[in-house]
Every structure is written in C-alpha cells, then in structure tokens.
Amino acid sequence: VNQILLLLLVLTVCAIVYNKVHQVPSALKNETVDLESPEEMEEEIPVVVCAAAGRMGAAVALISSIYSNTEANVLFYIVGLKTTIPHIRKWIENSKLKEIKFKMVEFNPMVLKGKIRQDASRPELLQPLNFVRFYLPLLIQKHEKVIYLDDDIIVQGDIQELYETKLAPGHAAAFSDDCDLPSTHEVVRSVGMQNTYMGFLDYRKQAIRDLGISPSTCSFNPGVIVANMTEWKHQKITKQLEKWMQRNVEENLYSSTLGGGVATSPMLIVFHRKYSTINPMWHIRHLGWSPDTRYSEHFLQEAKLLHWNGRYKPWDYPSVHTDLWENWFIPDPSGKFKLTRPGS
C-alpha cells in the first residue's frame, strides 16, 4: 500500500512540474486568439449576379469590378440557366477571377410559367433571369442580408459600404429613389426617361387607380437592391410580386413600352412607401438610355456604382462611357463572347 501511495505521489509531483514548464502564459493565448478571430469573425457579403446568355461578359466585368475594389469577404452567387452555367464557370476558372469565392445557382424558368405577359417591343426584358430578384430567398438560403445587382453595372467603390446600408425596421429592401440626385435630372429630361409611377403603370386601368398611388410619385430603380431576407420572407414579398405578375397577364396593367421594364412595375407596387433608400452615389444610372447624352467625367469618377440601364449597353455599339466599363472587362477565354466596337 505504501509503495502504491509513494508511486501516486511521485506521479503527481511530475505532473505539476511538467505543467509549470510547458504552460503557455494566458496573455499569449489571448493574443493568439485575437490574431485569428478577425478572419474568423469577418462577415460574408453575399452578392447576387445573373449570367445571361449573350451578356456573360457583363457579369464578368461586374464581378471583376467588385473584387478589385474591396478587401471584404465577398461571396458571389452567380445565377444562370442550366445551359449557361458551364460557360461562365469556365470563364471564371480560367481568368484572374479564379481567386473569388463563388457559388453557381441554377434558376428554373418554370417558376415563371403563366406569370409573364408576352411583349414584342423589348423581348430581352422578358428573359427569365430578369426576374431572379423576385426569388432571392428561394435562391439564397443562409444569409440575413443580400445585395442584388443587375449585370449592366460596374462598382467603383468598396462593396462593404453598400452592404452597410441601413434598412429601417419593417423594410425588406433598400433601393435608389429616382428623384434623389439633382445632377442626374438633366440627363433624365434630355432622354425622356420617366422617373414617376406614371411612366411604369397604366393609370387608365381601374386596378391601378384602386391602389391610391399618385401618378406623380417618384419611382425607384430595382437594379441595385440591398435586401433583408427575414423581412422579405415574413412579408411574403415573392408571393405579392407573383400576384401582380399574374394580374398583368390578365389585365395588361403595365408593359415594357411604358417605363422600359416589366420587372420594375410589380416592385413599384409591392414596395410603395415600404423601402429604405441607398446613398445616391451608389447608383448612378441612365448611362444606357442614349448613345449621345453623357455625364461629366469628374462626376463619374466620384461615383461608387455606374449603371447602364436602357438599350445602349457598354459591350455593344453605340454606347457612352465604355472606357469606364472596359477597365474591368476580362476577355472570354473561349472566344465566344466578343465586344461590339466600331469596325468590328
């Protein structure tokens, strides 16, 4: 018994001595944790980008501009159709964008069956990916806050700043108000661009008049969205948007011949007086509404985000301020996508 007790005593002493020799000071332990924690704690910024057939170069330029202008932890959700996903994936993996964090998301156009009224004036606006913004919670599952960007955009600022846009309690999204920036008003007037509800909804229809929205109410542009997924789901925003899409099929309440977009009108109805606003410099738009009207170079250099909404896209000809867009364009390794330029 004595020998056993002596052995236990010796082992106890040895354990105490070992711990004292090999113990890491608590201050050093804390320093080690602190060094690792910023990366571990860094919030992921989800950015949704669509890659449509025929305009994949647009998505690439957008992603390139975001990635090049931020140190933030951006996760790109690249949404495409089954037929287009392999092309955009190969483009990314065989260019300098291979370092980005991204997930490919397939959009099933069958969800739109019976919800889109055929309109021959601008058929490109009826492409399925134009309605991806309606279905954000179905495509993006794990994030509370999401940024959606149209493909005809480049970002010149740090996307972290846009992500930090404050949404008021009860608001599912933030947009750019079309009356928010005096420096754009002259451009809007010169190209005949509508910036009120009258330009998007047919006020001859009783269903529109019954909404009680003044036709002179300022519109907003849903090409840039900062969305709260919890509120979006709670308010059943997707169901509301689908309801107005179906009513338009039946009653022709809006069309692309009005404001230039069948995806904007349902959002104007559903989000009327229920949205927060984005810093105006984070959405300088109308660059694609005329091949002639130009902003000042100084103004565009100060802008955080440029949007070529309209018919005249910077990868086509004619268009304006194409040099700013081409700064971020990465040629297609497969050679399928080519820029349209004078003489090409």
Show me where the domains of the chain are located: 45-182+189-327
**What is the helix (H) or strand (E) element at residue 155, kind and residue range?**
strand 153-155
Q: If pLDDT is split at 50, 70 and 90, which confidence band does 304 have?
A: very high
pLDDT score of 191 more than 90: no
Rounded to an integer, what distance in angstroms lies between the CA atom of residue 314 and that of residue 291?
10
- DSSP character for 133? G
Q: For residue range 192-220, list pLDDT tens digits in order.
A: 556 889 888 999 999 999 999 999 999 99
Q: pTM of the entire structure?
A: 0.85
Task: Give the DSSP per-residue string, 49-62.
Answer: EE--TT-HHHHHHH
Determine the average pLDDT of the residues in 94-108: 97
Pick the CATH number of 45-182+189-327 from 3.40.50.720, 3.90.550.10, 3.40.720.10, 3.40.1280.10: 3.90.550.10
- pLDDT at residue 257, rounded to an integer: 56
- DSSP character for 129? G
Total residue count of the chain as it appears in this document: 344
Q: If pLDDT is split at 50, 70 and 90, which confidence band does 15 have?
A: low
**What is the helix (H) or strand (E) element at residue 227, kind and residue range?**
strand 220-228
Q: Quick one: 231 exposed, middle or buried, by C-beta within 10 A (0-12, 13-18, 19+)?
A: middle
Average pLDDT, the chain: 86
Sheet of strand 101-106: strand arrangement: 101-106, 73-80, 44-50, 145-149, 220-228, 173-177, 276-277
Lowest mean pLDDT segment, chosen from 19-23, 24-28, 71-75:
24-28
